[in-house]
Each structure stands twice: as structure tokens, then as C-alpha cells.
């Protein structure tokens, strides 16, 4: 991929694009940028499974339909046997990565996490663990009285391969404070990613739209990602998706597909230093997911053999690998399996 194949736009230019361009002209510009960065007509994807080791969470975000508070009858922590069964099933379906995330469980100490990682590494050395978003790392560090660097070093030594960009929502504290007042502030989210990148752990970055934010909040979010990427180069991809209000305590309408596509396109144009942008077919469905491939996205994310968080909000789009590939082909792209770092998966 050519380095910086697209030029940098300022915040003022991004604002002007948002205000002046309609969805189609913004999409056309974003697609041109995508093709400049990835001239080959390829759409990448990964075969993996989201595994939530616990749904118990003391954070209580207003937009979350997945968690159960500590002591709730529906709270669970996966046993080693349950975890192993899920990973074995993933491998049997051709998977080679798991996305491992939970909640902020007040009784699970650092040795639970290091033990879980070491167990997975021993039992499934061929499966990469992409796990623990920044709020989980901050929670663990506080609970153990350790620094973020110390927690990340312990997790990495036990087998953690990379970090998902979850828990970013909108990296603007007024919005974070209104929807998830107990979650780490934007500075700490950035600090975890900076430290992870420093320790050689690559990560993704996400953004959730439709939480009551304005375009200024979204631009603040994009600026923080771009600034950190200038410093570390550790982000492999950016993944915007829409808040799913079903079963949550946040009574706002879902952002439209039009809003999603415009934001996706703006992100592609603004994040000149982030190589890959993912289409969110999990929240948007296969058709808008396919359309996103012409609005700046060059990646279909994951086949998501299992997904619980968005499903808890009542949104259950599922796609088998062959269906995902069929959509890419129908849109004019060759589907290619990739690893977390976006290298081509051997034998695909």
C-alpha cells in the first residue's frame, strides 16, 4: 500500500465537506481515496468469533443492553471448558482469531485474565487473541493498583496479540459523561492505546454514532485518532458503527443509514494515516454493508461466528463466510481473508 496516498485535510475542510457535500459526492470522494490507498479491487475480512468471557459489569453504560450488574441472576463468567468449546468450534469453522471482551467484573483479578490467556495459548496456539478494550485495561489497572503499562505488559506476556478499539464510543468527554459516566475519559482511552502501541500491540479504533453527539464531537474523535496515529502508527483500522437503542436505557432514535454512510465517507477522507476502514454490516445489514464498500470501506470486518453485544440490542444480522464473499463479489471486489494486521491469510 502506498504511504499517505491521500492528502491531509484540516478540520475546517472536513467541516466544509460535511456541510456542503451530499451523501453521493462525499461517497465518491471517499471511494476515490479508498482506491488510491488500495488500488486492487479487493475486500478483506477475518474469520473470527466474539467471545464475551463475562456479562457482569459494574460500569452501567446507558447505551448497553448486554451487561448485567454484579449480583444479577443472569450474570455469568465462562468456565475454561465453555471457553475451550467455543474456541474449538471457531477453529472447526475455519476461524483463527477470537475477539475476547467482557465487562468490568469487580471480582475478576489480573490473574484471572493472565490465566485465561495462558490457557488459550497452550490449548490453541494457532488462534490469535484480540482482546480487552481500553476501559477494561483501565479498570484492571485501578483495581490492582498497577499502571496501564504494567497491566498491558502482563497481558502481552500471557499471550494477548492485539487490542480491539472498543469503549471509544465518542472521544469527547461531554458525550461520554452523558452516556457512560463511569467509563474512562477520552484521555485515558488514548493513553491505553498509546501504551499498547508502544509495547508493540497493534489495535483498531472504533466510533459509535447516534449517542446524541454533533458533527463537532465526531470531528474531535477523528482528530484524536489521527493525532495518535501520527505519533505511533499502531492503528490497523477504523470502524464506525451506529448505536443500537433496542433494550437500552438511552431513548434516542437510531442514526440513519444515510448518516452512517456520510460519516464513514468523512472518516475515510479525514484519516489519511489509517490504512483500513471497516464496513459495519453487523449494525447496518448486508445491503448497506455492501454499499459501504463504495463509501470508503475496504474491509468487511469479521464473519462473527458469535456476536452478543449488538444482538442484545435486538439487532441480529448474521452472515456466513460464503455469503460475505458473495456480497463482495457482487459489488465487484475479490474477497480475501486477512489477519488482524491486514496481512493476507496464507492459503486463502
Q: Please say which residue, 183 or 218, places its beta carbon nearer to ligand SF4.
A: 183
What count of residues does the chain have? 348
Helix 186-198 with 148-157: angle, nearest 10 deg:
50
Sort 157 into a burial class: Cβ within 10 Å, 0-12 / 13-18 / 19+.
Answer: exposed
Among 72, 82, 148, which residue's Cα sits nearest to residue 103?
A: 72
- Residue 47: CB minimum distance to ligand SF4, A: 24
Known binder of ligand: residue 184?
Answer: no
Q: Please say which residue, 180 or 276, places its beta carbon nearer to ligand SF4.
A: 180
Known binder of ligand: residue 147?
Answer: no
| Strand duo 97-101 + 276-277: pairing | unpaired
Q: Please say which residue, 104 or 128, places its beta carbon nearer to ligand SF4.
A: 104
Q: How far apart are the first and last CA of the chain?
A: 19
Q: Please say which residue, 211 or 292, places its beta carbon nearer to ligand SF4.
A: 211
- Rounded Cα distance, 313 and 64, in Å: 8
Q: Which chain residues interact with ligand SF4 by CB under 6 A?
A: 57, 59-61, 64, 66-67, 103-104, 135, 180, 183
- Residue 71: CB minimum distance to ligand SF4, A: 15
- Residue 168: CB minimum distance to ligand SF4, A: 11
Which of helix, strand or coil describes residue 207?
A: strand
Sort 264 into a burial class: Cβ within 10 Å, 0-12 / 13-18 / 19+.
Answer: buried
- Residue 140: CB minimum distance to ligand SF4, A: 13
What one-character DSSP code corresponds to residue 185? P
- Residue 54: CB minimum distance to ligand SF4, A: 9
Known binder of ligand: residue 223?
Answer: no
- Residue 307: CB minimum distance to ligand SF4, A: 14
Q: Are 184 and 146 in contact (CB under 8 A)?
A: no
Q: Please say which residue, 27 or 103, places its beta carbon nearer to ligand SF4.
A: 103
Known binder of ligand: residue 10?
Answer: no
Known binder of ligand: residue 325?
Answer: no
Known binder of ligand: residue 67?
Answer: no
- Rounded Cα distance, 88 and 82, in Å: 10
Q: Please say which residue, 138 or 267, places its beta carbon nearer to ligand SF4.
A: 138
Helix 281-291 with 321-330: angle, nearest 10 deg:
30
Which of helix, strand or coil describes residue 35?
A: helix
Residue in this structure with the C-alpha cell 475519559, named with its chain if needed = 185
- Residue 293: CB minimum distance to ligand SF4, A: 28
Q: Are 276 and 237 in contact (CB under 8 A)?
A: yes
Q: Please say which residue, 103 or 234, places its beta carbon nearer to ligand SF4.
A: 103
Q: Are 266 and 209 in contact (CB under 8 A)?
A: no
Annotated binding site for [4Fe-4S] cluster: 57, 61, 64
Annotated binding site: 57, 61, 63-64, 133, 169, 280, 302
Annotated binding site for (3R)-3-methyl-D-ornithine: 133, 169, 280, 302
Amino acid at each position: 500500500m502506498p504511504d499517505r496516498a491521500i492528502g491531509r485535510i484540516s478540520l475546517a475542510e472536513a467541516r466544509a465537506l460535511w456541510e456542503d457535500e451530499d451523501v453521493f459526492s462525499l461517497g465518491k470522494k471517499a471511494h476515490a481515496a479508498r482506491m488510491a490507498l488500495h488500488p486492487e479491487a479487493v475486500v478483506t475480512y477475518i474469520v473470527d468469533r466474539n467471545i464475551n468471557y463475562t456479562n457482569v459489569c459494574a460500569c452501567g453504560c446507558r447505551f448497553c443492553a448486554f451487561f448485567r450488574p454484579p449480583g444479577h441472576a443472569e450474570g455469568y463468567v465462562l468456565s475454561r471448558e465453555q471457553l475451550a468449546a467455543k474456541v474449538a468450534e471457531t477453529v472447526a469453522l475455519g476461524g483463527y482469531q477470537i475477539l475476547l471482551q467482557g465487562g468490568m467484573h469487580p471480582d475478576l483479578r489480573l490473574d484471572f485474565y493472565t490465566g485465561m490467556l495462558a490457557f488459550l495459548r497452550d490449548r490453541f496456539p494457532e488462534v490469535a487473541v484480540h482482546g480487552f478494550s481500553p476501559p477494561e485495561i483501565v479498570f484492571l489497572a485501578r483495581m490492582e493498583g498497577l499502571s496501564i503499562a504494567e497491566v498491558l505488559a502482563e497481558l502481552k506476556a500471557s499471550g494477548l496479540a492485539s487490542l480491539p478499539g472498543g469503549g471509544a464510543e465518542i472521544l469527547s468527554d461531554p458525550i461520554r459523561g452523558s452516556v457512560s459516566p463511569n467509563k474512562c475519559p477520552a484521555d485515558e482511552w488514548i493513553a491505553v492505546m498509546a501504551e499498547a502501541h508502544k509495547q508493540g500491540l497493534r489495535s483498531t479504533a472504533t466510533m459509535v454514532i447516534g449517542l446524541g453527539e454533533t458533527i463537532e464531537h465526531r470531528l474531535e474523535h477523528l482528530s484524536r485518532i489521527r493525532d495518535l496515529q501520527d505519533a505511533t502508527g499502531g492503528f490497523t483500522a477504523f470502524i464506525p458503527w451506529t448505536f443500537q437503542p433496542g433494550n437500552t436505557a438511552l431513548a434516542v432514535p437510531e442514526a440513519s443509514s444515510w448518516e452512517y454512510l456520510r460519516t464513514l465517507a468523512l472518516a475515510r477522507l479525514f484519516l489519511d494515516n489509517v490504512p483500513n476502514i471497516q464496513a459495519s454490516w453487523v449494525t447496518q445489514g448486508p445491503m448497506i454493508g455492501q454499499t459501504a464498500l463504495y463509501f470508503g470501506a475496504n474491509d468487511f470486518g469479521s464473519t462473527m461466528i458469535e456476536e452478543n453485544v449488538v444482538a442484545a440490542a435486538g439487532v441480529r444480522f448474521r452472515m456466513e463466510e460464503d455469503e460475505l464473499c458473495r456480497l463482495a463479489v457482487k459489488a465487484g471486489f475479490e474477497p480475501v481473508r486477512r489477519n488482524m494486521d491486514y496481512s493476507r491469510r496464507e492459503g486463502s
